[in-house]
Every structure is written in structure tokens, then in C-alpha cells.
């Protein structure tokens, strides 16, 4: 099977970092063309720094990293230091990255790549706010039919919101950008909280990473140790959801996930429900389907895959 070409669009974030590691640990299946940073969990100067730190940790300083949008399309930036810490990768002490930041803007890289690669061969994997992707689609509408698929982490339906009562963080930060992406007619696969809240990184699973005896394994354990404290207290669960790696795991083993092909609209106007992913799970409207909205996963298979791949690094 040919390797799948992907661009990871990210705002690292400890769980973003694990997603990047999972992709870079899977070179037989995935060719990471580049990593594009966006403001989200923390501001852009930190997300682009963190993306480079993670690539170096994986032994892939050759992966180009691009800085993108430093704010949403039309709203003030909302960040999540209360979850991820002041750096976005709080937990272990990390040195500054040595690999360079590319001079090209992330949006231009996305546009140029989709124009230069054969149509239908590049998958976009956004695991932060969708600002960079929406700006690329606004700047160059011709690239939209060239995208193979978008596999994104964001949204919620049965699990409702994690930043407001109605909205998941990535969609809430830039709902206008999400609206553009969900109306793009690009094939969408969505990993909402409904799936990611079943991917719990328990104390036993954290310890399994630590016992790998590798620097990467210890780092993943330290990162998950740090951010799980917030979610365990918030949800009263036995572990924290490891959200973003679900996107990469789906590309590697799609059979781990199940969902429905439905209509999903983004609420942008309401003060109460801004950023809500209005998912027609029960197909009660005649609105056209536009997304595969995942609802369940095999958690054991998911963490088996993560452990096997992270141990390679």
C-alpha cells in the first residue's frame, strides 16, 4: 500500500505532541510532508516552538515546520493554558529546538503543496483550531477539490462541550473557520469528544509509556501525567482523554473507529452555543451529509497501537 501523504496542522499541546509522534513513528504508512502551527492551546510563538521540539524528540529534524495564523479569522484568541500549562508542553523540562522554522507562511505551504502534489493524494490532519485550513481555502478555492480527506479532532455531540456547555475547544476558538471547512465539500472525518473521551490515558497506561525505557516513552508519560490532572478532576474519570492521536490512529487502523456519515453544521451566532457542532446524528433533517462523525473506538486497540509505535522512537 502506498504511503499516505499528510500535513499535520497543530497547536501543541501535550496530546498534539503524542499525535505528531505517532505519525512520525509510522513511516511505512504515513509521509509527513510538513507540520503547520496555529494559535490555539497557547499562542503561535509557543505552538511553532513546540512543534519543532516534538519533531526533534522523534529524531525528525528534517520535517519542515511552518508558523501560520496567530489569531482566529474574526475573533480574539482564546487559549488553554489552564489545561496545558504556560508553554503548552508543561511537565518535563525541554530544551529550545535547534531545527529552523521555515520562512514560508503555513497557509502558503498548504496551498502550494496541494497545488503541486497530484490531486487527491494529500490528507490534511488539523488537530487545533481550523484557522489555517480555512484561510487556505479562502485564498485558493482551487485546492479544495484536490484534498484527499480532512481528518480532524474537534466538536462534540453526546459529550457536549469542554470549553463551554455546548462547544469543544478547537471549534470554539474559531467557529467561522470551522464553518468554512465543514461547508467545503472536502471529505471530512471528525474525531469529536464522543470518541476521544473513550480514549482515557489511565495511570496504568501512563506507566506503560514510562516503562519503555526510552526518552520518548518517558516524555510521553511526563506529558500525560501533567495534563491528566486537570481532566481527571473535571470529569471524575480514571484518566484523561488522549484526544488528538485519534486522528493519526484512524489513518493507521480505521477499523478501530465507528461512526455515521451525517450532516454537521457549526453554530457561529449564538452567545450560548457558539462553536457547537450541530450533528444530525439521528438524521432528522434533510440537510446534506458532509462528515463522517465518529462515535466509538476500541480503546484497547488504540493504546496498543500507540504503545507499539511510540516504542519505536
Q: Which residues are catalytic?
A: 243
Half-sphere exposure of residue 282: CA atoms within 13 angstroms, side-chain side: 2
Written as nine digits, the cell of 187 is 471529505
Q: Looking at residue 70, what DSSP letter applies?
A: S
Q: Looking at residue 148, what DSSP letter applies?
A: E
Written as nine digits, the cell of 59 is 529524531
Number of residues written out for the chain: 313
Asked if residue 165 lies in contact with residue 211, where contact means CB atoms within 8 angstroms, the answer is no
Provide φ and ψ at 259, rounded to 5°.
Answer: -170, -160
CA distances in angstroms from 199 to 126, 235, 239, 299, listed in the order given: 18, 13, 9, 5
Of 6, 95, 16, 8, which is closest to residue 56 (Cα–Cα)? 95
Asked if residue 150 lies in contact with residue 120, where contact means CB atoms within 8 angstroms, the answer is no
Written as nine digits, the cell of 151 is 481528518
Q: Where are the alpha helices (DSSP H) in the chain?
A: 14-24, 44-57, 81-84, 106-116, 131-139, 169-173, 175-182, 193-196, 203-210, 215-235, 245-252, 299-310
Peptide bond into 13 cis (omega under 30): yes
**Distance (Å, whole) CA 126 – CA 153:** 7
Amino acid at each position: 500500500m502506498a504511503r499516505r501523504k499528510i500535513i499535520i496542522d497543530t497547536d501543541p499541546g501535550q496530546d498534539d505532541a503524542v499525535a505528531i509522534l505517532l505519525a512520525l513513528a509510522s513511516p511505512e504508512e504515513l509521509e509527513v510532508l510538513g507540520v503547520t502551527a496555529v494559535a490555539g492551546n497557547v499562542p503561535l510563538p509557543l505552538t511553532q516552538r513546540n512543534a519543532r521540539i516534538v519533531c526533534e524528540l522523534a529524531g525528525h529534524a528534517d520535517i519542515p515546520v511552518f508558523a501560520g495564523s496567530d489569531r482566529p479569522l474574526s475573533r480574539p484568541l482564546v487559549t488553554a493554558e489552564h489545561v496545558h500549562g504556560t508553554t503548552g508542553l508543561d511537565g518535563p523540562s525541554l530544551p529550545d529546538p535547534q531545527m529552523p522554522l521555515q520562512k514560508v507562511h503555513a497557509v502558503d505551504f498548504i496551498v502550494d503543496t496541494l497545488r503541486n502534489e497530484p490531486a487527491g493524494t494529500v490528507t490534511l490532519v488539523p488537530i487545533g483550531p481550523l484557522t489555517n485550513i480555512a484561510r487556505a481555502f479562502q485564498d485558493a478555492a482551487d485546492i479544495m477539490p484536490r484534498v484527499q480527506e480532512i481528518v480532524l479532532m474537534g466538536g462534540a455531540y453526546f459529550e457536549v462541550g469542554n470549553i463551554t456547555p455546548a462547544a469543544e475547544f478547537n471549534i470554539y476558538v474559531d467557529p467561522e473557520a470551522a464553518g468554512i471547512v465543514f461547508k467545503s465539500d472536502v471529505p471530512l472525518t471528525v474525531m469529536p469528544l464522543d470518541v476521544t473521551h473513550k480514549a482515557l490515558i489511565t495511570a496504568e497506561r501512563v506507566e506503560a509509556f514510562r516503562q519503555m525505557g526510552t526518552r520518548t516513552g518517558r516524555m510521553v508519560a511526563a506529558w500525560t501525567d501533567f495534563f491528566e490532572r486537570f481532566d481527571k478532576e473535571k470529569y471524575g474519570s480514571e484518566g484523561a482523554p488522549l484526544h488528538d492521536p485519534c486522528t493519526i490512529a484512524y489513518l493507521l487502523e480505521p477499523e478501530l473507529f465507528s461512526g455515521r456519515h451525517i450532516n454537521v453544521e457549526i453554530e457561529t451566532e449564538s452567545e450560548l452555543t457558539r462553536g457547537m457542532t450541530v450533528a444530525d446524528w439521528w438524521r432528522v433533517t434533510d440537510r446534506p451529509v458532509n462528515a463522517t462523525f465518529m462515535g466509538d473506538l476500541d480503546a484497547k486497540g488504540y493504546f496498543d497501537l500507540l504503545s507499539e509505535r511510540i516504542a519505536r522512537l
